[in-house]
Amino acid sequence: MHGAEQEVIFRQVHEPGRLGLSDFTNMDSLEVTIAGQPLDHLLYHFRLAYSGFEHGHVILGGESFVALAEGLQNALWSLGGAPHDHRSDSLSAAFRNLTTNEREDLTHRYEELCAHYHMKPTRNNKGVAHENGSIESVHGHIKAAVRDALLMRGSNDFDDLAAYRAFIDEIVSRRNAHNLKRIEAERPHLQELPQRRTTDSEEVVVRVMRTGGFTLRKVFYSVPSRLIGHQLRVRLFDDRLDVFVGGTYLMTLSRGRSHPDGRHSQVVNYRHVIHSLRQKPMALLRLVYRDQLFPRLEYRQTFEALLERLTDKQA
């Protein structure tokens, strides 16, 4: 036969306790909804190459260091130990649009994360997908398992995010049960965990504006008006923000995401601004975040019905 030489894939023999792998897979095709609203999300997926132990964690944003740090640490503490090596892809999505200094900082943070668990960090070579084949080949399997479980459940809708996460946990637990003997055989070869987790958040400093909140990553967050003018310290997680004044914890806010077209979005609690709206009710008519202000859909529909029947001032 004639033709050019082709690349040969060399399958590896995996030693117990040696290698753990991380990756992300897009779950949007499953059309999961939370209280009727579409859930755009990824699944962080960890797997031990030897025993097949798996851990899955729902990610609301894109691939990022924060998502990797949170998912990986959840996996290790669920497992009860750490492998000697940890392999991921190059976090290409997280590196996109970053400066050289920012990429170096992200690389340093990843290396520090692995060092905290005494793991040697490795990455795939760009364009060589089969290097992460031990986990990428499983992506289709776990996605199919979730799809089948949704069909058996009879609905893709969940009351809240916690219910969906519990659903994913149950699926992964059943898959691990099939590999229980190999998992138990691998555990003695794992490294002991440190006394505590390391950081799985990003910390930023913001200032509360006269508009009653602060803007972070193209999202406006409302806070109590007494904080106007104050500088806040924010710990940014994948699904939430923990807010501090100095070293004092204030509150936790749900994390928002900017619109796909780049427009800003808002995370607003009506309790933060209702006292001012009572004094300036006409401000509600063209308020940028008016729709987000209503605590339930029925409130918004009632207000829109009033606008159709009454004058602006009467409504």
pLDDT in tens, 175-207: 999 999 999 999 999 999 999 999 888 899 999
pLDDT of residue 199: 82
Question: Are residues 32 and 110 both part of a single domain?
Answer: yes
Q: Would 250 be classed as within a structural domain?
A: yes
> Strand 37-38's sheet: what is its strand order?
37-38, 33-34, 157-158
Smallest Cα–Cα separation from 142: which of 172, 122, 119?
A: 172
Rounded distance, CA 210 to CA 87, Å? 46
Strand partners, 48: 20
* Beta-carbon count within 10 A of 280 CB: 9
The beta-strand segments (E) located in 62-218 are 85-88, 120-123, 157-158, 202-207, 213-216
Please give the residue range of the domain that contains residue 181: 19-189
pLDDT of residue 122: 83
Total domain count, the chain: 2
Q: Would 14 be classed as within a structural domain?
A: no
Q: Would 10 be classed as within a structural domain?
A: no
Residue 315 has pLDDT above 50, yes or no: no
185-222 in b/e burial notation, b at 16+ Cβ within 10 A?
ebbebbeebeeeeeebbeeeebebeeebbbebeebbbb
Question: Are residues 212 and 117 both part of a single domain?
Answer: no
pLDDT tens digits along 48-101: 999 999 999 999 988 888 899 999 999 999 999 999 999 987 565 555 556 666
Last residue of a domain, one of 160, 189, 218: 189
Which CATH number do you get for residue 120?
Answer: 3.30.420.10
Question: Are residues 227 and 139 both part of a single domain?
Answer: no
Rounded distance, CA 270 to CA 234, Å? 21
Residue 23 has pLDDT above 80, yes or no: yes
Average pLDDT over residues 155-165: 96
Question: Are residues 180 and 216 both part of a single domain?
Answer: no
Average pLDDT over residues 35-47: 93
> How would residue 105 be classed by pLDDT, with cut points 50, 70 and 90?
confident
pLDDT of residue 278: 72
pLDDT of residue 266: 86
pLDDT of residue 82: 98
The beta-strand segments (E) located in the chain are 19-26, 33-34, 37-38, 42-48, 54-59, 85-88, 120-123, 157-158, 202-207, 213-216, 219-222, 231-236, 240-245, 248-254, 265-267
Question: Are residues 167 and 44 both part of a single domain?
Answer: yes
Q: Would 196 be classed as within a structural domain?
A: no
Last residue of a domain, one of 157, 189, 221: 189
Question: Are residues 229 and 181 both part of a single domain?
Answer: no
Q: Would 95 be classed as within a structural domain?
A: yes
* Mean pLDDT of the residues in the chain: 83
pLDDT of residue 281: 60
Q: Would 3 be classed as within a structural domain?
A: no
For the record, the structure tokens of 268 come out as 């607003």
DSSP state for residue 242 in the 8-state scheme: E
- Between the alpha carbon of residue 59 and those of residues 161, 226, 302, the distances in Å are 11, 33, 34
CB within 8 Å of 58: residues ≥ 6 apart: 27, 41, 42, 43, 44, 161, 164, 165, 168
pLDDT of residue 99: 66
Q: Would 223 be classed as within a structural domain?
A: yes
Question: Are residues 179 and 226 both part of a single domain?
Answer: no
Q: Would 166 be classed as within a structural domain?
A: yes
Question: Are residues 88 and 182 both part of a single domain?
Answer: yes
pLDDT of residue 115: 95
Least confident of 17-21, 135-139, 199-203: 135-139
pLDDT of residue 12: 63
Cβ(252)–Cβ(242) under 8 Å?
Answer: yes
* Beta-carbon count within 10 A of 314 CB: 8
Rounded distance, CA 266 to CA 256, Å? 7
Last residue of a domain, one of 161, 189, 217: 189
Average pLDDT over residues 245-268: 88
Residue 291 has pLDDT above 70, yes or no: no
Tell me the pTM.
Answer: 0.75
